[in-house]
Structure 1
């Protein structure tokens, strides 16, 4: 075969390399490969759309009971273990004090919260109080995550949006502030502060493990 030629895929005649139509059989050359690529892209997009629903965190049991099955039969023990496994892996929307939520290999626990009326030179507005909420975040993923008290959290008191409060954080004493980077395999513990109406009933806090993610851990405090 001479340089600059190719073989017609239909009649096998040697033709110019850049020929779009075979001079012998008059059939078009090429053009199939690009349609295969387009078809593969379309299939991949459909698969991504159909499987791209929002992830939900699952509840992690912090203190499993070890001794309650000692006097049970093997069948009863297996049933208990199956039930526990189902509870650990079940999806849940809102988590409470002491509960651990896990998603994308990140575990978040709302440890506790405190209320206070401030100090001598740091008072909330009339009718309000400070609320400090303690979280522990464990990064079990393979990459570091960034935590920002302002960007990673959003909060609501009785469905009204709350603003991050620097004045509330002045009352955190020795506690850490929830800001910084958590390396892979490491943890962070700290508090985030809000100024809320003193007669609040429910505070809901949403935490995003990635500022650009739509996946949220949702925690709720009820008086």
Structure 2
């Protein structure tokens, strides 16, 4: 009973912190830089300045900026689990590593449960605590990032082993309603 109460308190605190978010509002994410990713081979996108301003999807290695917060999907890796932690039959764990650089004047909250939603081949998929057990020495993507600081962490999902595309929507500021969409292709 005490454990359940503790979890409720932690989740409530994370929720309230996530809602406080950034105060500045920007209309759309902007492309900051571009690099080739491990899973994504579809990086042949238009590089014109007009395309950068209107860009709505970002791929592995690309950095999006929204409200002075830069977010990069660094890497996407698959795992079949370990001896005592395995995905359901026909599934794999997918670990998505992000770097968040807070260039704003205020601290921001990042919650893998509240700030991220994902779709695998257009079907919704929830974050997986089992997948996070396979993150190794990497951080889970939950916490706060002080102004001028960076944070690197992992969110995990359990998806069918024959998945083709994973779409991850990151909402840095819940009240603002703007998302940054990252795409990973197998």
Aligned pair partner of 1:152 in 110, 115, 123: 115
Match of 1:219 in 2: 182
Measure, in 2, the Cα distance between the counterparts of 1:109 and 1:88.
Answer: 18
Measure, in 2, the Cα distance between the counterparts of 1:135 and 1:54.
Answer: 21
Give the CA RMSD over aligned residues.
2.0
Match of 1:129 in 2: 92
Q: Secondary structure at the match of 2:55?
A: coil
Match of 2:70 in 1: 107
Q: Whose strand proportion is higher, 1 or 2?
A: 2
Measure, in 1, the Cα distance between the counterparts of 2:51 and 2:166.
Answer: 25
Q: CA deviation at 1:160?
A: 0.5
Q: Secondary structure at the match of 1:193?
A: strand
1:61-100 → structure 2 map (5 Å cutoff)? 61=33, 86=49, 90-100=53-63
Q: Secondary structure at the match of 2:54?
A: coil
- 1:36-67 deviation digits (Å, cap 9, x = unpaired): xxxxxxxxxxxxxxxxx98210101257xxxx
Q: Which has the higher contact order (CA 8 A, sep 6+)?
A: 2
Paired residues of 1:149 and 1:192 also in contact (CA < 8 A):
yes
Q: Secondary structure at the match of 1:112?
A: strand
Measure, in 1, the Cα distance between the counterparts of 2:61 and 2:33.
Answer: 10
Paired residues of 2:26 and 2:67 also in contact (CA < 8 A):
no
Structure 2, unpaired ranges of 5+: 1-24, 36-46
Q: CA deviation at 1:85?
A: 8.6
Match of 1:177 in 2: 140
- 1:113-157 deviation digits (Å, cap 9, x = unpaired): 100110000010011000000000001001011000100000000
Measure, in 2, the Cα distance between the counterparts of 1:128 and 1:62.
Answer: 30
Q: CA deviation at 1:91?
A: 2.6
Aligned pair partner of 1:60 in 32, 38, 52: 32
Q: Secondary structure at the match of 1:149?
A: coil
Matched, 1:141 2:104: yes
Figure out how many residues of one structure are paired with residues of the other and give that number: 151
| Structure (1 or 2) with the larger CA radius of gyration | 1
Matched, 1:163 2:126: yes
Moved more, 132-141 or 205-214: 205-214
